[in-house]
Amino acid sequence: MTKLAPSLLSADFANLQRDMEQAKENGCEWLHYDVMDGMFVPNISMGIPVLKSIRKATDLTLDVHLMVERPIRYVEQFVKAGADWLTVHVEADTEENTLAALDQIHALGCKAAVSLKPKTPAEAVKPFLKKCDMILVMTVEPGFGGQKFMEDMMPKLRTLRKMLDAENPGCILEVDGGIDANTFRVCRENGAEVFVAGSAYFGAPDKAAFVRTLQGE
Ligand code: DX5
Ligand code: ZN
C-alpha cells in the first residue's frame, strides 16, 4: 500500500494543530517534518521545540527530514522530541559519521533513513543500505516547497529499488518534492511507496480526495 505524508512545511504554522487533525481525518497516517539549518540548504524552517509541541498534539507517525550539516549532532534531540522516523542526508557528513548516526537513531528506538539530493547517485547509499529502514529520494533540490518535479530521478529510483530488493528487501522507498496526483503515479511505477506532498496536498481543493488518490481508493 502507498502512503502519503503531508509536508508541514506547506501547512499554516499558526494553525498546525488544525492542519494535523485535518490530515488525520482525511486518512493520513504520516506527517513529514522538514528541518533546515540555512547551511546544508539555503533556507531555515522548524527545529526541536516545534517538534516537541506537535508531538503532544498528534499521534500520527512523524517522519522527520533533517536537511542539516553534520546531523549526528542533533539526532538524539530530534528522537527525544518525538520523531518516529529520522532521515539524514548522505551528503551532510562523512561515511563514518553517517553510519554512527544511523546506529544512534536505532539505539534510541527510532526508524532510520538516508536521503539523496538530485545530483547524488544511487550508489552513494551502498555503505548505508543494510542499516536503513527507508531511503528518501529527493525529486527537487532540497530547501523549498512548491518546486517542479524532476522526472529524471526515475532511473535512480529504479536502481535503488533493485539494490534494495537484493540487499534489504524490507527497506521502503520515499520520494519528496513536486509530488502531485500525476507525478505520484510516475514514482509509484518506479518503486516508491511513501510520498511526501506539501503544496499539492495543502493546496488541493478537496484534500480528502487527494489522499484517496495517493493512498489508493
Ligand atoms: C523540500 C522539502 C519538502 C517540501 C516538499 O526541501 O524536503 O518536504 O515540503 O514540498 P512540495 O511537495 O511542495 O514540493
Ligand atoms: Zn522533506
- Tell me the mean pLDDT in the region 200-207: 98
Q: How far is CA 55 from the centre of its chain?
A: 17
Q: What is the pLDDT of residue 216?
A: 84
C-alpha 56 – ligand 1 centre gap (Å):
24
* Residues, CB-to-ion distance under 5 Å, ligand 2: 34, 65, 176
Q: How confident is the model at residue 1 (pLDDT cuts 50, 70, 90)?
A: confident
Ligand 1 neighbours by CB, cut-off 6 Å? 7, 9-10, 32, 34, 65, 140, 142-147, 176-179, 196-200
| Cα dihedral across residues 74, 128, 93, 64: positive or negative | negative
How high is the mean pLDDT of the chain? 98
List strand residue ranges (DSSP E) for 1-144, in order.
3-6, 30-36, 61-67, 85-89, 111-116, 134-138
Place of cell 548522505: 90
The backbone torsions φ and ψ at residue 216, rounded to the nearest 5 degrees and listed phi first, read: 80, 130
**Is-catalytic flag, 19?**
no
Q: Residue with the nearest Cα to atom 10 of ligand 1? A: 145
- Tell me the mean pLDDT in the region 150-163: 98
Percent of the chain with pLDDT over 70: 100
C-alpha 66 – ligand 2 centre gap (Å):
8
- Tell me the mean pLDDT in the region 111-132: 98
**Is-catalytic flag, 176?**
yes
C-alpha 32 – ligand 2 centre gap (Å):
7
Q: pTM score, two decimals?
A: 0.98
37-78 pLDDT tens trace:
999 999 999 999 999 999 999 999 999 999 999 999 999 999
Q: How far is CA 20 from CA 10, 24, 31, 42, 180, in A?
A: 12, 6, 8, 26, 19
Of the residues 93, 133, 176, 180, only one is catalytic, namely: 176
**Which of 8, 10, 41, 214 maximizes ligand 1 atoms within 8 Å of its Cβ, making it the mutation to test the pocket?**
10
List strand residue ranges (DSSP E) for 37-133, in order.
61-67, 85-89, 111-116
180-198 pLDDT tens trace:
999 999 999 999 999 999 9
Of the residues 34, 37, 93, 133, only one is catalytic, namely: 34
Asked if the model's pLDDT at residue 217 lies above 80, the reply is no
Asked if the model's pLDDT at residue 108 lies above 80, the reply is yes
